[in-house]
Structure 1
């Protein structure tokens, strides 16, 4: 891909940078939900949505413009997004598989930053092997609604979400990817939906277990038709690693700079082996950026998302390990300014190191990514499956 930023993109960059500067200098800072509404009011949500079915109150821009916005957002150290699941996963899926009524109901609220979403996919025993899921959705009320029973886990931001898109088994006795459906489920159902936070070893609790006990979804909120959930779900997963990957790399560059400063401050940089590892990390990060730009917007390279996940997952994990090794025994100590609302008194590097232990597992483990590359790209024999 011949990817370059033209004058229009640079003008858009200046606009984005000015808006972010003007809206991130307020005191006090807006709450996470209020920030989503600010982004919506500014038209910054859904820049890459397909306009074939209409507009939803947001602006649109080219692929290069989307990259510009993602990079500037990361460089501005803007708040972590609560609405990215609705904007980047649910909305493109509705544009591709939803009907006109579904798009009209849900997309404007996402574009305004008013409704937040979570993803109901993984279950105990059905994480990387998603087709093994057991959550059921049974037609009720003469087919006007579905009763949902089961459990989802590792559900990001479920405690904040207004809605959840749930992959459930609508055909009793169906096996693997057959008989699954994609349903939009309101989370405000006391007594029918229970959310339990999962406390991580870093002390954070952004992931949750979600229990559905007779939760209700309307039949009109079935996306793509009954029994077609696997196709819809796989299309959605294919959107997980797009423009946002480049913004992620801006964050990675900032983390690498922090580790380099640590190496200089502790004199670890005097060690040739440490300098070599830092240079290799810099070079690998540049390679990841160019690889992401090369494959961005292309649907021809089926293995590209898996390759990208393998590259950045291990890179980030090794960076955390290097930071802790350079600190030596001090890596096990909390900061001097410890306070109770920071779990365990961890500083940013320590929290990042602990979280990075999951980088090679979540979003599809390294083993799964290698299997995808082997089977779908290299054409090797498929692994035996039950």
Structure 2
């Protein structure tokens, strides 16, 4: 297994140090700074009505909270400010801005919350100082909590946790005292048998929160995908499956994902459970992408159409995984860190590998849509390498099917998951 994932010692890009700058900013009243380009009229607010013109309306020049145009107006205002400071907007991710002159400064924007990072703290602080002249920006210091994610930094790397978010969910659902469970989903497939739920709204609310948890919990991605497929016809058996996921979270509430130092080398695993859905016979595919030994991207999803063979299902999964790899490569290029090694994609289906590498198999693939042949173009251009991996070492297997306890824990151990060196919430 160690030969499939790059676990060599760290090789940092030129100019980077282990203790790079990583701070969080907050913009006060961000939406009020945006300038409206569309014509928007507003009625006079209660208590501020002009007695001489009580029925008149006002034309807004600036955005207000609650307007549909407010987020875009703020983003446009901030984007132009960052461009004036020498930043360029990433073509692959509109929330990413990069400045490489004279040294690298990276800015990631989510509404009014901003992350600033770079190898040189002085240049990052200089950018924050300049931005504070344009907007009321507040430096919140080193990043510790962002969008429900707890961030802990140590000499080993960066630990991202949603433990507090998961504990809040357990408290909300009154499951904080439940009996822990070792795996999130049983081996029996969910069906439409059982009694209808009397409160479907509560079920949908819990599932929505669980979807957000999959940001940093790849071990529950398949289980959450399964319970999400029954939102329109809810049975008590489905709610029992959701409770089992919550019991698993109780057992692993502090187990989240580590990002440790390593080589800039992409490795991906792609897998499919062919015709696994008993209702429409669509296949469930999953992938996981590693940067060195760090899991950085994963997915568990049902394919949008029925595959006529396991080879076709695997081939379609190739294309979707390759799309994710291509996007990650573009992000690294925008960050001025182009990958020096060709990304490697591991698969356990020899026929699919041959289909992706051999352009002469047209007679067998006439029914496959053209966009799925994208993977073949990448292979021929030597932009991706597809290799065979034994099913026992197929790491993406955890994203495509329910697994026995021993198999689940074996694959889970390959996902950089673990507990933080100290409690992020303090002693209780």
Q: Could you say which TM-score interval applies, normalised by the shorter chain?
A: under 0.3
More helix as a share of residues: 1
Please, what TM-score do these two structures have when normalized by structure 1? 0.26
More strand as a share of residues: 2
Query: Comparing both chains, which one has the higher relative contact order based on Cα–Cα distances under 8 Å and sequence gaps of 6 or more?
Result: 2
Please, what TM-score do these two structures have when normalized by structure 2? 0.24
